Amino acid sequence: MSGGTGTPKLLQGLLSLVSETDLSIICNTADDYYFYGLYISPDIDSVLYSLSGLLDEEKWWGIKDDTFNCLDMLKKYGYDTWFQLGDRDLALHIHRTRLLKDGLLLSDVINNISLCLNIKARVLPMTDQKVTTMILTDKGKLNFQEFWVRENANVKVLSIEFEGVKTAEPSRGVIDLITESDVVIIGPSNPITSIGPILEVKGIEKALKMSQSLKIAISPIIGEQPLSGPAGQLMKTQNLEVSPYSIAKIYSNFLDVLFIHNTDTRFISQIEDLGISAFPTNIIMKNQYDKINLAQEILHLIEARRC
């Protein structure tokens, strides 16, 4: 399960060790946003670009070496350009928006893009329906991109809501995938706004709980700090302490194993009191070596649990 920019790193490690066809990724869509009339799906796109080797691996979103000529021209015409849409990235948004307007489901659109980009893994949106993370702040109600990119998270967060989630159905195949997979990995993504919306879609958390698969998460928090993004700030607004223990608590309904950083061994007994095994290792993925190492540790653990 993936959202944001943490999980695509792990995905690259896994891709070096397992066949791409053995991987399926369920993506958050609550960060999706219309810009210039184009449908942008950042979390899905980071996964698609990661799998197709196109991803900008400095930012972990958008396409590497992209240019921003279209945005520069739009600025001259008076458009807001705080959301950095690269020229090559725009092609995907134009294509997706057209297919959606033709009546295709988001999951069908992703299948089409996967075919065009020669992606062999299965990429699924959590739902085909509209779900939007709305953040109530002292500057008004903002969607995730307005909060994170336009305001740089420089606002007081009062509450968070996933608009539309109560009536959203999982996209085709999501529940079967969770129940039939050998292993479900919750990537090192923000538990509130990246994985949170996925878990709130009807039946997904229940399927995780009922599934016989081994359920593993990688903590996106080291000590009291998130690896990246607004996870820490958003956890505090939910009255959660920022720690790997909190991650274990959030996923305690279904989780079997939590990978934590090797400096966080002090949390092990607290996590294990929740009935979750804590596995300390290096979870910081700065380069390909780190990504493969973490993926290898996960695969070793899976093998050990099988015996």
Q: Is 32 in the site for ligand FO1 (CB under 6 A)?
A: no
Residue 43 touches ligand FO1, criterion: CB under 6 A = yes
Q: Does 31 bind ligand FO1 (CB under 6 A)?
A: yes
Nearer to ligand FO1, 45 or 264 (CB): 45
The footprint of ligand FO1 on this chain (CB under 6 A) covers a number of residues equal to 19
What DSSP assignment string belongs to the chain? -B-TTTHHHHHHHHHTTS-GGG-EEEE--TT-EEETTEEE-HHHHHHHHHHTT-B-TTTSSSBTT---HHHHHHHHTT----S---HHHHHHHHHHHHHHHTT--HHHHHHHHHHHTT--SEEEESBSS--EEEEEETTEEEEHHIIIIISTT-S-EEEEEEETGGGPPBPTTHHHHHHH-SEEEE-S--TTTTHHHHHHSTTHHHHHHH--SEEEEE-SEETTEESSTTHHHHHHHTT--SSHHHHHHHTTTT-SEEEEETT-GGGHHHHHHTT-EEEEE-----SHHHHHHHHHHHHHHHHHHH-
- Closest contact distance (angstroms) between CB of 42 and ligand FO1 is 3
Least Å distance, CB 137 to ligand FO1, is 16
**Residue 277 beta carbon to ligand FO1: minimum distance, rounded to whole angstroms:** 28
113 binds ligand FO1 (CB under 6 A): no
Q: How far is the CB of 81 from ligand FO1 (least distance, A)?
A: 9
Rg (CA), the chain: 19
Residue 162 as a binder of ligand FO1 (CB under 6 A): the answer is: no
Residues from 180 through 239 that contact ligand FO1 (CB under 6 A): 194
Q: Is 283 in the site for ligand FO1 (CB under 6 A)?
A: no
| 36 in contact with ligand FO1 (CB under 6 A) | no
What is the C-alpha separation between 287 and 180, in angstroms, rounded? 32
Q: From the CB of 43, what's the least distance to ligand FO1, in Å?
A: 5
- According to CB under 6 A, which one of 15, 25, 40, 131 is a site residue for ligand FO1? 40
**83 lies in the binding site for ligand FO1 (CB under 6 A):** yes
Contact stretch for ligand FO1 (CB under 6 A) within 7-15, 37-45, 247-255, 274-282: 37-45
Residue 148 interacts with ligand FO1 (CB under 6 A): yes or no: yes
Binding positions for ligand FO1, rule: CB under 6 A: 3-5, 31, 40, 42-43, 45, 61-62, 83-85, 89, 144-145, 148-149, 194
